Amino acid sequence: MLRMLTIGVYGFGAESFMQRLRSADVRLLLDVRQRRGVRGPEYAWANSLRLQPALADAGIASEHHLELAPTTELRQLQYAEDDGQGVGKRTRHELAPEYTRRYTTQILDNADLAPIVSALSSGVAALLCVERDPEACHRSLITQRLAEQYGVTIEHLRP
């Protein structure tokens, strides 16, 4: 049985994040962020230049999958929807329907997920983005596709 985990940055501290990955026996972290940084000192640990050495020290390999990251235009579309609903990126609970539609047709339908599925045979992998809740993040769309097309079992790691 192939298993994929997901994890966001928000709600974790550096230590609790690494502990959550270790307790789930994650061997590979797949970063699906466009910009590999997080604003604010509270989450500076999640910026790629800090996170990479911490992962290496924990024996967790990492890969950046820019081809699965939303474009700037798509992110702006979601931010506009968030503004209209009076929510922020850190408090969003779901993706806008238009964002979901466009991410699926522009990114996901063109992505080759087979290499990611192949990597799952080597151990537990986790998709990384920033949102706390997967329902508020494109990683839920990726995992939905993995489950539907490849029968991958999905688990979301939360703080």
pLDDT digits (tens, 9 = 90+) for 109-157: 999 999 999 999 888 999 999 999 999 999 999 999 999 999 999 999 9
- Determine phi and psi for 71, rounding to 5 degrees: -70, 165
**Burial zone of 57 (CB within 10 Å; 0-12 exposed, 13-18 middle, 19+ buried):** exposed
CA distance 117 to 146: 8
CA distance 17 to 23: 10
The tally of CA atoms less than 13 A away on the side-chain side of residue 16 is 12
Looking at residue 88, its pLDDT comes to: 83
Average pLDDT over residues 39-52: 92
Q: What is the torsion angle, in degrees rounded to the nearest 10, for the CA atoms of residue 98, residue 102, residue 105 and residue 111?
A: -130
Select 3-157's CATH number: 3.30.1490, 3.90.1150, 2.60.40, 3.90.190: 3.90.190
Looking at residue 26, its pLDDT comes to: 97
Looking at residue 89, its pLDDT comes to: 78
**pTM for the predicted model, two decimal places:** 0.92
CA distance 92 to 132: 9
